[in-house]
Structure 1
Amino acid sequence: MMIVKRLENQEFKYEYGCLFRRLMPWEGTAKTSWGSGWVKLAPGEFTTPHNHSMSEIFIIISGQGTMTIGSDYTEVGKGDLIFIDANKTHHIRNTNANELLEVICIWWNN
Protein backbone atom coordinates (compact mmCIF):
# COMPACT_ATOMS: atom_id res chain seq x y z
CA MET A 1 0.00 0.00 0.00
CA MET A 2 1.24 3.50 -0.85
CA ILE A 3 0.24 6.49 1.26
CA VAL A 4 1.04 9.98 -0.04
CA LYS A 5 0.73 13.10 2.10
CA ARG A 6 0.10 16.19 -0.03
CA LEU A 7 2.12 18.85 1.76
CA GLU A 8 0.67 21.76 -0.22
CA ASN A 9 -2.57 21.16 1.69
CA GLN A 10 -0.86 21.27 5.08
CA GLU A 11 -0.42 24.54 6.94
CA PHE A 12 2.56 25.47 9.07
CA LYS A 13 1.76 26.18 12.72
CA TYR A 14 3.65 28.26 15.24
CA GLU A 15 5.69 25.90 17.46
CA TYR A 16 9.11 26.25 19.08
CA GLY A 17 9.04 29.97 18.24
CA CYS A 18 8.84 29.39 14.48
CA LEU A 19 6.70 28.11 11.63
CA PHE A 20 6.64 24.33 12.02
CA ARG A 21 4.89 21.58 10.07
CA ARG A 22 4.78 18.05 11.47
CA LEU A 23 5.58 15.48 8.78
CA MET A 24 5.55 12.12 10.60
CA PRO A 25 3.69 10.38 11.99
CA TRP A 26 0.36 11.13 10.38
CA GLU A 27 -3.06 9.54 10.37
CA GLY A 28 -3.22 6.32 8.40
CA THR A 29 0.43 5.36 8.90
CA ALA A 30 1.91 2.87 11.34
CA LYS A 31 2.96 4.10 14.77
CA THR A 32 6.68 4.77 14.92
CA SER A 33 9.25 5.54 17.60
CA TRP A 34 10.35 8.56 15.57
CA GLY A 35 8.86 11.73 14.14
CA SER A 36 9.78 14.51 11.77
CA GLY A 37 8.98 18.11 11.00
CA TRP A 38 9.77 21.00 8.68
CA VAL A 39 10.94 24.34 10.13
CA LYS A 40 10.86 27.70 8.33
CA LEU A 41 12.71 30.67 9.82
CA ALA A 42 12.55 34.15 8.28
CA PRO A 43 15.70 36.31 8.37
CA GLY A 44 16.65 37.03 11.99
CA GLU A 45 14.22 34.50 13.48
CA PHE A 46 15.28 31.66 15.77
CA THR A 47 13.71 28.66 17.43
CA THR A 48 12.98 28.74 21.14
CA PRO A 49 15.84 27.08 23.05
CA HIS A 50 14.52 23.71 24.20
CA ASN A 51 15.48 20.15 25.02
CA HIS A 52 13.71 16.80 25.05
CA SER A 53 14.36 13.15 25.81
CA MET A 54 14.82 12.22 22.14
CA SER A 55 17.88 12.46 19.91
CA GLU A 56 17.41 14.55 16.79
CA ILE A 57 19.02 15.49 13.51
CA PHE A 58 18.56 18.73 11.59
CA ILE A 59 18.97 18.66 7.81
CA ILE A 60 19.45 22.18 6.40
CA ILE A 61 17.57 22.32 3.08
CA SER A 62 17.95 26.06 2.39
CA GLY A 63 19.54 29.14 3.86
CA GLN A 64 22.23 29.77 6.46
CA GLY A 65 22.22 30.06 10.20
CA THR A 66 23.87 29.49 13.54
CA MET A 67 23.21 26.21 15.37
CA THR A 68 23.63 26.24 19.14
CA ILE A 69 23.76 23.08 21.27
CA GLY A 70 24.48 23.76 24.93
CA SER A 71 27.28 26.36 24.93
CA ASP A 72 28.65 25.23 21.53
CA TYR A 73 27.67 26.98 18.31
CA THR A 74 28.64 26.87 14.64
CA GLU A 75 27.60 28.30 11.30
CA VAL A 76 25.45 25.94 9.21
CA GLY A 77 24.02 26.04 5.70
CA LYS A 78 22.26 24.16 2.94
CA GLY A 79 23.32 20.51 2.85
CA ASP A 80 24.55 20.36 6.46
CA LEU A 81 23.41 17.63 8.85
CA ILE A 82 23.50 18.30 12.60
CA PHE A 83 23.17 15.63 15.33
CA ILE A 84 21.61 16.71 18.64
CA ASP A 85 21.93 14.30 21.55
CA ALA A 86 18.96 13.72 23.86
CA ASN A 87 18.44 16.24 26.68
CA LYS A 88 20.75 18.86 25.11
CA THR A 89 19.33 22.38 24.95
CA HIS A 90 19.44 23.60 21.36
CA HIS A 91 18.18 26.23 18.95
CA ILE A 92 18.89 27.51 15.46
CA ARG A 93 18.94 31.10 14.15
CA ASN A 94 18.58 32.36 10.58
CA THR A 95 21.57 34.65 9.96
CA ASN A 96 20.86 35.35 6.27
CA ALA A 97 19.23 38.75 5.67
CA ASN A 98 17.50 37.72 2.43
CA GLU A 99 16.61 34.03 2.53
CA LEU A 100 14.48 31.61 4.54
CA LEU A 101 16.28 29.03 6.63
CA GLU A 102 14.49 25.71 6.16
CA VAL A 103 15.26 22.63 8.21
CA ILE A 104 13.93 19.07 8.22
CA CYS A 105 14.01 17.66 11.76
CA ILE A 106 13.95 13.95 12.55
CA TRP A 107 13.76 12.76 16.16
CA TRP A 108 13.65 9.33 17.77
CA ASN A 109 13.59 7.59 21.13
CA ASN A 110 16.93 6.17 22.25
Structure 2
Amino acid sequence: MHVKTATGDELIRKNGCDIRQLYPWDGVVTPPWNSTLCSIRPTESSTPHGHDTDETFIFVSGRGRARVADEERDVVPGDVIYIPHGTDHIVTNVSADEPLTFVSIYWLQPAQ
Protein backbone atom coordinates (compact mmCIF):
# COMPACT_ATOMS: atom_id res chain seq x y z
CA MET A 1 0.00 0.00 0.00
CA HIS A 2 1.25 3.47 -0.90
CA VAL A 3 0.08 6.28 1.35
CA LYS A 4 0.54 9.99 0.84
CA THR A 5 -0.10 12.22 3.84
CA ALA A 6 -0.63 15.95 4.01
CA THR A 7 2.16 16.28 6.58
CA GLY A 8 4.65 14.73 4.14
CA ASP A 9 3.72 16.91 1.15
CA GLU A 10 4.88 20.41 0.33
CA LEU A 11 2.12 23.00 0.05
CA ILE A 12 2.74 25.63 -2.62
CA ARG A 13 0.92 28.83 -3.55
CA LYS A 14 0.03 29.00 -7.26
CA ASN A 15 -2.69 30.78 -9.27
CA GLY A 16 -4.15 32.19 -6.03
CA CYS A 17 -4.59 28.70 -4.51
CA ASP A 18 -2.86 26.66 -1.83
CA ILE A 19 -1.89 23.52 -3.76
CA ARG A 20 -0.82 20.02 -2.76
CA GLN A 21 0.50 17.95 -5.69
CA LEU A 22 -1.14 14.49 -5.74
CA TYR A 23 0.09 13.09 -9.08
CA PRO A 24 2.64 12.53 -10.45
CA TRP A 25 3.74 10.64 -7.34
CA ASP A 26 7.41 9.60 -7.26
CA GLY A 27 7.88 5.85 -6.94
CA VAL A 28 4.25 5.10 -7.81
CA VAL A 29 2.51 4.61 -11.17
CA THR A 30 2.66 7.58 -13.55
CA PRO A 31 -0.86 8.12 -14.92
CA PRO A 32 -1.61 9.99 -18.18
CA TRP A 33 -2.90 12.89 -16.06
CA ASN A 34 -1.77 15.02 -13.12
CA SER A 35 -3.77 16.11 -10.10
CA THR A 36 -3.65 18.54 -7.22
CA LEU A 37 -5.68 19.25 -4.12
CA CYS A 38 -6.50 22.97 -4.27
CA SER A 39 -7.76 25.25 -1.52
CA ILE A 40 -8.90 28.84 -1.92
CA ARG A 41 -8.79 30.93 1.23
CA PRO A 42 -11.98 32.63 2.53
CA THR A 43 -13.19 35.54 0.35
CA GLU A 44 -10.30 35.04 -2.13
CA SER A 45 -10.26 34.00 -5.80
CA SER A 46 -7.92 32.03 -7.97
CA THR A 47 -5.98 34.01 -10.53
CA PRO A 48 -7.89 34.11 -13.85
CA HIS A 49 -5.94 31.89 -16.24
CA GLY A 50 -6.07 29.28 -18.99
CA HIS A 51 -3.58 26.61 -20.03
CA ASP A 52 -2.76 23.92 -22.59
CA THR A 53 -4.36 21.12 -20.56
CA ASP A 54 -7.99 20.10 -20.21
CA GLU A 55 -9.04 20.14 -16.56
CA THR A 56 -11.74 18.83 -14.25
CA PHE A 57 -12.53 20.26 -10.81
CA ILE A 58 -14.24 18.08 -8.20
CA PHE A 59 -15.42 20.24 -5.29
CA VAL A 60 -15.07 18.59 -1.88
CA SER A 61 -15.76 21.30 0.72
CA GLY A 62 -16.85 24.91 1.06
CA ARG A 63 -18.94 27.05 -1.27
CA GLY A 64 -17.99 29.25 -4.13
CA ARG A 65 -18.50 30.52 -7.65
CA ALA A 66 -16.75 29.26 -10.76
CA ARG A 67 -16.45 31.08 -14.07
CA VAL A 68 -15.37 29.25 -17.21
CA ALA A 69 -15.15 31.56 -20.24
CA ASP A 70 -18.37 33.63 -20.02
CA GLU A 71 -20.39 31.12 -17.97
CA GLU A 72 -20.61 31.48 -14.17
CA ARG A 73 -22.36 29.41 -11.49
CA ASP A 74 -22.34 28.57 -7.79
CA VAL A 75 -20.40 25.46 -6.72
CA VAL A 76 -20.83 23.20 -3.69
CA PRO A 77 -19.33 19.86 -2.58
CA GLY A 78 -20.05 17.13 -5.13
CA ASP A 79 -20.09 19.47 -8.13
CA VAL A 80 -17.80 18.58 -11.03
CA ILE A 81 -16.71 21.09 -13.69
CA TYR A 82 -14.90 20.34 -16.97
CA ILE A 83 -12.68 23.08 -18.43
CA PRO A 84 -11.46 22.71 -22.04
CA HIS A 85 -7.84 23.62 -22.73
CA GLY A 86 -7.21 27.26 -23.59
CA THR A 87 -10.31 28.43 -21.70
CA ASP A 88 -9.93 31.15 -19.06
CA HIS A 89 -11.36 30.21 -15.68
CA ILE A 90 -11.54 31.51 -12.12
CA VAL A 91 -12.87 30.11 -8.84
CA THR A 92 -14.01 32.36 -5.98
CA ASN A 93 -14.55 31.36 -2.37
CA VAL A 94 -17.74 33.10 -1.18
CA SER A 95 -17.32 32.10 2.48
CA ALA A 96 -15.89 34.52 5.04
CA ASP A 97 -14.50 31.76 7.28
CA GLU A 98 -14.15 28.44 5.45
CA PRO A 99 -11.76 27.37 2.66
CA LEU A 100 -13.12 26.17 -0.69
CA THR A 101 -11.41 22.88 -1.57
CA PHE A 102 -11.41 20.92 -4.82
CA VAL A 103 -9.41 18.29 -6.64
CA SER A 104 -8.00 19.36 -10.01
CA ILE A 105 -7.28 16.63 -12.57
CA TYR A 106 -5.58 17.84 -15.74
CA TRP A 107 -4.22 16.27 -18.91
CA LEU A 108 -3.08 16.99 -22.44
CA GLN A 109 -5.41 15.80 -25.19
CA PRO A 110 -3.75 13.30 -27.55
CA ALA A 111 -2.71 14.74 -30.89
CA GLN A 112 -5.17 13.87 -33.64
TM-score relative to the length of structure 1:
0.91
How far did residue 40 of structure 1 move? 1.0
Q: Distance in 1 between matches of 2:4 and 2:88?
A: 31
Q: Counterparts of 1:80-99 in structure 2 under 5 Å?
A: 80-99=79-98
Give the secondary structure class of the aligned counterpart of 1:8: helix
Give RMSD over aligned pairs.
Answer: 1.2
User: Is 1:29 the equivalent of 2:28?
Assistant: yes
Residue aligning to 1:65: 64
Q: 1:29: how far off?
A: 2.2
C-alpha deviation, 1:8, in angstroms? 2.4
How far did residue 5 of structure 1 move?
1.8
Question: Unmatched 5+ residue regions in structure 1?
Answer: none
Instruction: For residue 71 of structure 1, report the CA deviation from its aligned partner.
Output: 1.4
| Equivalent residue, structure 2, for 1:102 | 101
Deviation at 1:42, TM superposition (A): 1.4
In the alignment, does 2:11 pair up with 1:12?
Answer: yes
Q: Distance in 1 between matches of 2:40 and 2:16?
A: 9
Aligned length: 109
**Which whole-Å CA distance do the structure 2 matches of 1:106 and 1:57 have between them?**
5
Q: Is the 2:23–2:30 contact (alpha carbons within 8 Å) kept by the matching residues of 1?
A: no
Structure 1 segments, 4+ long, off by >6 Å, are none
- Aligned-pair identity in percent equals 34
Give the residue type in structure 2 aligned to 1:35: N
C-alpha distance in 1 between matches for 2:26 and 2:65: 34
Uncovered stretches (5+) of structure 2, i.e. residues with no partner: none
Equivalent AA in structure 1 for residue 80 of structure 2 = L
How much has 1:32 moved relative to structure 2?
3.0
